[in-house]
Amino acid sequence: MDRRVYGVETEFGLTHRPETGRGLPPDELARYLFRPVVDFGRSSNIFIPNGSRLYLDVGSHPEYATAECDDLIDLIASDRAGERVMHDLAMAAQERIHQDGFTGAVYVLKNNVDSAGNSYGSHENYLIPRTTHFRRLSGILLPFLVTRQIIAGAGRVVQEDDTYEAHFAFSQRADHMWEGISSATTRSRPIINTRDEPHADAASHRRLHVIVGDSNMSTTTSLLRYGSTDLVLRMIEAGVPIEDFELENPIAAIRAISHDISGQARVRTRTGEQVTAINIQREILRRVTRFVSERGAHHSHVDQILELWDRTLQAVETGEHQLIDQEIDWAIKKRLVEEVSHQRRLDLNHPRLQQIDMAYHDVHPDRGLYHLLVRRGRAATIVSGAQVTHAMTTPPPTRAALRGEFLSTARAYGAECTVDWVHHKLTDRPLEAIMVKDPFAAKDQRVEALLDKLGDRSSELQERSLEERSRQGATLALTDKYTRAPGTQVPEPPLI
């Protein structure tokens, strides 16, 4: 597919650090965090005006699912918007916690592991044609995903245990994967989840659900992660032959690779060959590069993705990690950890270095170490603050634009409505509910006609400015797009 729909779902870690004693328990803290969400949408599981979804997931994890995006920069901006929303909610929660007589700070971390061995994810969705042979797809995609951590891992300080000495690993998530492919998520954590909910026309599409990825802070790493995966999918969809790297034991392989930062860990293929992650990634990159040179680039970031992909493999091959220590999360973090360890003479087992690992993922723009490194010019970024602010209020030009407009309009008219990825329903007009199965559709006459029944939108609704919206609500993302023009009447609901 030249044009693809992407989405990413991020589960965040959440903690309260009072001045003394224990923090609020997770359930209670999550309720504080989500109070503005419930105030806005009367539920802790809602779609918001920018088309994304905000909810509390299993285990009281706050989660943000980006709207459907058909452009990688939109996707990354939307994901970053989710971080900003969480930060805003954390600040509001902290204030209310203080009003209620407690002390301390609320932390939201976009990482994947806590100190007790729990893990939470960063799930990617790629729309793929139903015609793609799933067995062939997984045969190629699994080895790619098992080794993708060396180009897109978030990095992790691993403390000494029975198996390892303290060391720096590529991935946060690798140790928490238990199966190659399966339909379960919480129970067995497969790399590829086969749960087939396309949120689209199931006759033509399926949704590839990848749950192996680390949560990235770096936007350049994100571009490489999603961009390389899309290119590999594109090649599979075109039926281009790719060398067979099917692994004998993907789960043992993903761990072995993560824990050897030299990239030299050898893993066995089904044919009995011993290969490294670099071997696999190099061969895939070679094929992808040839594919692009033959068929042309399908978007404007392809060259940048291929260049960064090649340079990252070179950095791992040669051990010259400084080649990528502004662009790839694990290398940015590793440099910082090593500098602190060296300057402060701390052993890698020292809790300070684990704290630095965690604080790298703090979404707080002043306190989070990734953000601090960006400010000091030690981490590159490809998405501006203005783009992120835009993504907080404005859906990308896909079906998300319909959802956003539907929600915003219904809210302005005080009309109760329900939406999900596909459905658009005004509570008072249940028989006129509309399904939009095409995730690329940014316009739909049926949705327009339904909204027209609420009133003359062009004369009755006024769009509020960003300044106006930023003065209201706990976060910009939870403010209304429209206000009613002065003197307009609320229409009577229809008789059913």
Partner 1 sequence: MPAQPQKQPHRHGEGDQPDSADAAAQVQGNPQATERAAELDSLLDEIDTVLEANAEEFVKGFVQKGGQ
In the annotated binding site for Mg(2+), the residues are 9, 55, 63
- Which CB, 248 or 303, lies closer to partner 1? 248
The rounded distance, in Å, linking the Cα atoms of 178 and 188 is: 6
Among 2, 27, 39, 57, the one annotated catalytic: 57
Q: Please choose, from the candidates 120, 264, 265, 270, the residue with its C-alpha nearest in 3D space to the C-alpha of residue 180.
A: 270
User: Rounded to the nearest whole angstrom, what is the least distance from the CB of residue 348 to partner 1 in the complex?
Assistant: 6
Would you list which residues are annotated within the binding site for ATP?
Answer: 53, 66, 421
CB 63 within 8 A of CB 11: yes
Q: Smallest distance from the beta carbon of 360 to partner 1, in angstroms?
A: 10
Q: Measured in Å, how far apart are the chain's first and last C-alpha atoms?
A: 44
Q: Is 57 a catalytic residue?
A: yes
Q: Which residue, 128 or 372, is less far from partner 1 as judged by CB?
A: 372
CB of 376 to partner 1, least distance (A): 6
> Which C-beta is closer to partner 1: that of 226 or that of 370?
370
Name which of 40 and 245 has its Cβ closer to partner 1: 245
Quote the least distance from Cβ 257 to partner 1, whole Å.
Answer: 10
Measured from the CB atom, the residue of 87 and 287 that comes closer to partner 1 is 87
Least Cβ distance, residue 213 to partner 1 (angstroms):
12
- Catalytic positions are 57
